[in-house]
Amino acid sequence: MTTWANMNLQDSASPIMEQLIFFHDHALLIITMVLAVVTYLITMLMQSDHTNRFLLEGQLLEVLWTVTPAIILIFIAAPSLRLLYLMDEIHYPAMTMKTIGHQWYWSYEYSDFTKVEFDAYMIPQEEINGFRLLDTDNRVTLPMNSHIRIIVTAADVLHSWTVPSLGVKVDATPGRLNQTNFIINRPGLFYGQCSEICGANHSFMPIVIESISTNDFTEWISKLSE
């Protein structure tokens, strides 16, 4: 869970989020190097009393400042395209869950099992024991180390189902089914919120995922199915 003092991303709880953090650091390093070189060159030119005549017109220089950015973009684009493929491709999920955005709460359906569905509302401030504006009365319970597919839609307006520590952000669009997948690699509670400005109570439709072992999940879903 993040705190107010943190400047970095939240700790990852899925392989995809780990890769996203690695890519963020990779791109940030390249950007920092480019900024340092450009700042150095600008500073040297401003301090110089004379201008090199080859700087104003030089075929070699023009080739260099055209080819070098292209090579830098390749180093950024290659891991980016790989990540996009990994995030979009879904192979044989262990289970599927459907989430529906409403004004202003989420509802969930575990359609792989007998009819298990519930709504998740934000806990009012006077009743809360956990995080303010982030806890819900019903938590989404999922098994860890399992390939999970999430199908997302909305019943009224645009929403966005977002859990930063899992690297998940999916638009919930009325009349359309979007999907994504993830694997939770550790137990715990993971918090998210609607990331689409969906109306007056946009800030009050949180998401709470509770990751537990497969055996505990089997017991939990069996009790709900009775």
145 pLDDT tier (thresholds 50, 70, 90)? very high
Which range, of 47-56, 61-70, 77-86, 192-201, averages the lowest pLDDT?
Answer: 47-56
| Percentage, residues of the chain above pLDDT 70 | 93
Residue 221 has phi, psi (to 5 degrees) of -70, -30
Instruction: Output 59 or 165, whichever has higher pLDDT.
Output: 165
pTM of the prediction?
0.82
Average pLDDT over residues 188-203: 89
Instruction: Output 59 or 135, whichever has higher pLDDT.
Output: 135
CATH class of 95-225: mainly beta
Residue 128 CB partners (closer than 8 Å, separation 6+): 135
Residue 112 CB partners (closer than 8 Å, separation 6+): 95, 96, 97
In one-letter notation, the amino acid at residue 104 is: W
DSSP string across 34-73? HHHHHHHHHHHHHH-SS--HHHHS-HHHHHHHHHHHHHHH
Q: What is the pLDDT of residue 52?
A: 66
Q: What is the pLDDT of residues 87-103, one digit of tens each?
A: 888 888 889 999 999 99
- Rg (the chain; Cα; Å): 24
Of the candidates 94, 82, 190, the residue with the CA atom closest to the CA atom of residue 150: 94
Q: What is the pLDDT of residues 65-87, one digit of tens each?
A: 889 999 999 999 999 999 988 88
Q: How many helices (H) and strands (E) does the chain have?
A: 4, 10
For the chain, the average pLDDT equals 87
Residue 114 CB partners (closer than 8 Å, separation 6+): 225
Q: What is the pLDDT of residue 64?
A: 87
Average pLDDT over residues 167-192: 92
In this structure, what token pair is assigned to residue 11? 């700790």
